Structure 1
Amino acid sequence: MGKNIKWFYLIVLSLIWGSSFILIKKALVGLTPLQLGAVRTIFTTIILLIIGFKRVKAIKRSEWKWVALAGFFGTFFPSFLFAFAETEIDSSVASILNSLVPLNTIILGALIFKVASTNRQVIGVLVGLVGTVMLIFNGAALNPNQNYLYASLVIIATVMYAANVNIIKRYLQTMNALTITVGNFVAIVIPAIVVLVSTGFFKEETLSNPEIKPALLYMLVLALFGTALAKVMFNKLVQISSPVFASSVTYVMPIIAVFWGLIDGEQFGFMQGVATVIILIGVYLSHKRKGPK
């Protein structure tokens, strides 16, 4: 039963998060990257407080630093990084680069959290890095009008996601998944409000923009499903499986995201497909541990 549940979580999360990249792209028509990241965080906080406000009381004072760190690494900074990245690179490419999360989970686990790695995992990381370099260079050649330096923002976000996974597994293992998620957003909502106000979002010329309403609707959908529901499910998945298994949600996500990207007219070349396969092979090699945990 436990194995079936974790696979159910993995598939549903892949479908939800695979669709989130196109929602970000669409919302950027009416919002700046800073506004998008802030609105996404604020909407999600409101939804989560309606669902689980009482959960905040269950968090001990000694646990708040880890809950807050998980919130900033797992949601706050990546929300802005992905928004800025998608102003220059295709949503499908952003989703494929997001597949580096399991590899970075292993790297950070070994370097910072002292989690032993096998030779197979090290090979997987190296293969994944080769695929990443191929994807970026081929994408830059296929889309010369796009600035592929922005791909580095997605890579930074994947390192932060990896840190979040390791923090939850090591320091918040026994905490209820919804409690972690509500705590995450309580910790980051004030900075998000400050960012939103600083962008001039509430000025009349911004709110009168006809593109603002559909953009906010995209963000509401993303906040409800792609962040609130998905974060609770992901935190639960980390607890009932392993950090690497949980982060391998990125296996299916690129397929969903590329599908949406192609529908939206994005270009995706043959060599980008090859690079994607190489990245996923790297993730696969690093996924199964052989030897002691």
Structure 2
Amino acid sequence: MKNINIKWIYLIVLSIIWGSSFILIKKSLLGLTPYQLGALRTIITGIILFAFGHPKLKGIPKSKWKWLCLSGLLGSFFPAFFFAIAETEIDSAVASILNSLVPLNTIILGFAVFKITSTRRQVLGVIIGFIGTAILILKGSELNPNQDYLYAGFVIASTLMYAANVNIIKRYLQDVKPLAIATGNYVFIVIPALVVLLLTDFFTSDRLNSPDLPSSLLFVIILSVFGTALAKVVFNKLVQISTPVFASSVTYIMPIIALLWGVLDGESFSFTQALAALLILVGVYLSHRRKT
């Protein structure tokens, strides 16, 4: 009974952390450009992971480093920028719902690239999920004509990268410790993130004197510490005390948290979009449900 209660606590905490990440991105963009946000998020998270995970790097076999590099680029580096770019045009709640496509895309890439077989139920889940995605984007473009919903493509591209990363970890990094994977990822992406930051106007007097900069930096720090570094630890712990299937159910709760934040922040969300979101979650559920 105690373990059951603890795993539910971890699930709820993780859902709140990740579900709140989208509004934190939105608030960070008030004083930062998407490239500055992505770079700072990567650098701060890297510093935190290096502080705790650097001893784990010695035990990583040389043959694994190329996969750690690819995993870092696909699972952390590009999505950090892509989500920030997307939220300059689309609402944070919509971005969170589109992020639910990760499990569906994991199945598609697993079948197409990694030759992992899929069941009929999973295929049905993929179809339903993408119908929901199409409705969500089309209705969103009608509801918010001033927003460019082509930017939803950045979120969808990120979900494909996340899906590829999951398959890479499962196939090539299964025997590497989770903290070692996370720290090893950032070995490759912190320096490129620093280069990106230096190429922006972050260090100019206009940017440093911006009244929105202090609050934006605070949101980025919260996003990096909780939404990335701590969330990785919580998720790994959740997998250890439960099952991967139970841990993946965080996908169902995250959009609810993000939607609540979005509504509180004045974002518009229609009944049709709610139905589209439900379709996506049904698709995710079908794709993950095991036969009894």
Deviation, 1:233, is 3.5
Q: Distance in 2 between matches of 1:105 and 1:57?
A: 30
Q: Percent identity?
A: 64
Q: Distance in 2 between matches of 1:246 and 1:161?
A: 16
Can you give the 5+ residue segments of structure 2 that lack an aligned partner in the other structure?
none
Q: Distance in 2 between matches of 1:137 and 1:34?
A: 27
**Residue identity in the other structure for 1:159:** L
Deviation, 1:13, is 2.1
Taking structure 1 as reference, are residues 237 and 115 closer, same or farther at Cα in structure 2, changes over 3 Å only? farther
Question: Is 1:201 equivalent to 2:171 in the alignment?
Answer: no
Taking structure 1 as reference, are residues 286 and 169 closer, same or farther at Cα in structure 2, changes over 3 Å only? same
Name the counterpart of 1:88: 89
Q: Distance in 1 between matches of 2:174 and 2:222?
A: 29
Q: Deviations over 1:166-200 (max 9, x none)?
A: 11112112221111111111121011001100112
Q: Distance in 2 between matches of 1:81 and 1:290?
A: 36
| SS of corresponding position for 2:203 | coil
Q: Distance in 2 between matches of 1:75 and 1:234?
A: 15
Deviation, 1:232, is 3.3
| SS of corresponding position for 1:252 | helix
Can you give the 5+ residue segments of structure 1 that lack an aligned partner in the other structure?
none
Deviation, 1:234, is 3.6
Q: How does 1:141-180 map to 2 (within 5 A)?
A: 141-180=142-181
**Residue identity in the other structure for 1:254:** P
Q: How does 1:37-186 map to 2 (within 5 A)?
A: 37-186=38-187
Name the counterpart of 1:228: 229
Does the Cα contact within 8 Å between 1:248 and 1:283 map onto a contact in 2?
A: no
Q: Distance in 1 between matches of 2:275 and 2:165?
A: 29
Q: Deviations over 1:244-282 (max 9, x none)?
A: 665542211100000000110000111000101111111
| SS of corresponding position for 1:81 | helix
CA RMSD of aligned residues (A): 1.9
Taking structure 1 as reference, are residues 233 and 166 closer, same or farther at Cα in structure 2, changes over 3 Å only? farther
Q: How does 1:209-228 map to 2 (within 5 A)?
A: 209-228=210-229
Q: Distance in 2 between matches of 1:220 and 1:156?
A: 25
Q: Distance in 2 between matches of 1:184 and 1:2?
A: 31
Q: Deviations over 1:121-140 (max 9, x none)?
A: 00000000000000001111
Taking structure 1 as reference, are residues 110 and 290 closer, same or farther at Cα in structure 2, changes over 3 Å only? farther
Taking structure 1 as reference, are residues 150 and 162 closer, same or farther at Cα in structure 2, changes over 3 Å only? same
Q: Distance in 1 between matches of 2:180 and 2:34?
A: 28
Q: Distance in 1 between matches of 2:39 and 2:247?
A: 26
Taking structure 1 as reference, are residues 79 and 99 closer, same or farther at Cα in structure 2, changes over 3 Å only? same
Q: Distance in 2 between matches of 1:7 and 1:90?
A: 29
Q: Distance in 2 between matches of 1:20 and 1:230?
A: 10
Deviation, 1:55, is 1.7
Q: Distance in 2 between matches of 1:248 and 1:85?
A: 25
Moved more, 258-267 or 10-19: 10-19
Task: Give TM-score scaled by structure 2 length.
Answer: 0.93
Deviation, 1:164, is 1.1
| SS of corresponding position for 2:146 | coil
Q: Deviations over 1:48-104 (max 9, x none)?
A: 112222122222211111111111111110011100000000000000000101100
Does the Cα contact within 8 Å between 1:95 and 1:254 map onto a contact in 2?
A: yes
Task: Give TM-score scaled by structure 1 length.
Answer: 0.93
**Residue identity in the other structure for 1:52:** G
Question: Is 1:290 equivalent to 2:284 in the alignment?
Answer: no
